[in-house]
Amino acid sequence: MHHLYRSYGRLRVLRDVSGAVETGEVLAVTGDNGSGKSTLLRCLAGLMAPQKGTIVCRLEGRELDVIERRRAVGYVAPDLEFYGELTTLENLQFACRLRHLDDDRAGHLLQRVGLPLNRPAGKLSSGMRQRLRWAWALLHRPRILLLDEPLQNLDAKGRDEVLLLLTEQLENGLAVIANPDPLELPNVARHLHLAR
């Protein structure tokens, strides 16, 4: 990402933000509330366009466009929600079918993150919803992980489980992790602090 700018009306959130991350590395983004961490991750995911600056994402030597980038990333964020009427398994199976994956992958990941298969997503606790976000994000074995406050609401066991999944994922991918305070994470190669 090169010299990114983004504002909401007159409120400037991102001002000349630059950085890079390579395969196997983690870029840790820290900053106070409202400093633009979530906005930066949304821009990187292709959910929002920066008003100035460029984002270049190369996968296997090929540059991805915005639509490809969206489908390629694994994204965890507090404002990512699932269908409350559907069970955890149905929610992930829906994602599997849209991503052309085998339905079994949904059950496997739900077991990895320790979630019941048949509970409606609307009846999950906040910690369980966070585990579901992790399972959803890792479904398609993404090479790029964008994690916004990834350990939010997780208990100690949940944290260990998702950090293990993250370590596995980093063997062949990269991650950008945003959190207000620095987290103890594996493979943190670069650090970016956003000022409000």
Partner 1 sequence: MWRDICIWLAETATIFNKEWRTELRTRYALNTVGLFAFTTLVTTTIALGPAGISEPARPFVVVLLWMILLFAASAGLPRTFVHEEESRTAMALRLMARPSSLFCGKALYNLVLIFSLELLVAPLYIGVMQLPIGSMRHFVLALLVGGFGLALGSTLTAAMVAQAEAKGPLFAVLAFPILLPLLKFAIDATLAATADQSLLIARGEVALTLGILYDGTLMVAALMLFPAIWNP
Residues interacting with partner 1, by CB under 8 A? 45, 47-49, 66-67, 70-71, 73, 75, 77, 79-86, 90, 94-95, 97-100, 136
**Least distance in Å: CB of 31 to partner 1?**
21
C-beta closer to partner 1: residue 85 or 102: 85
**Least distance in Å: CB of 98 to partner 1?**
4
C-beta closer to partner 1: residue 126 or 167: 126
**Least distance in Å: CB of 136 to partner 1?**
7
- The contacts of residue 48 (CB under 8 Å, 6+ apart) are 6, 39, 42
C-beta closer to partner 1: residue 60 or 65: 65
For 3: left if phi > 0, alpha if psi spans -120 to 50, otherwise beta; the answer is left
What count of Cα atoms within 13 Å lies in the side-chain half-sphere of residue 72?
19
CA distance 11 to 7: 5
CA distance 95 to 158: 22
**Least distance in Å: CB of 41 to partner 1?**
11
C-beta closer to partner 1: residue 58 or 99: 99
**Least distance in Å: CB of 157 to partner 1?**
25
C-beta closer to partner 1: residue 24 or 116: 116
Contact between 67 and 31 under an 8 Å Cβ cutoff? The reply is no
CA distance 130 to 79: 10
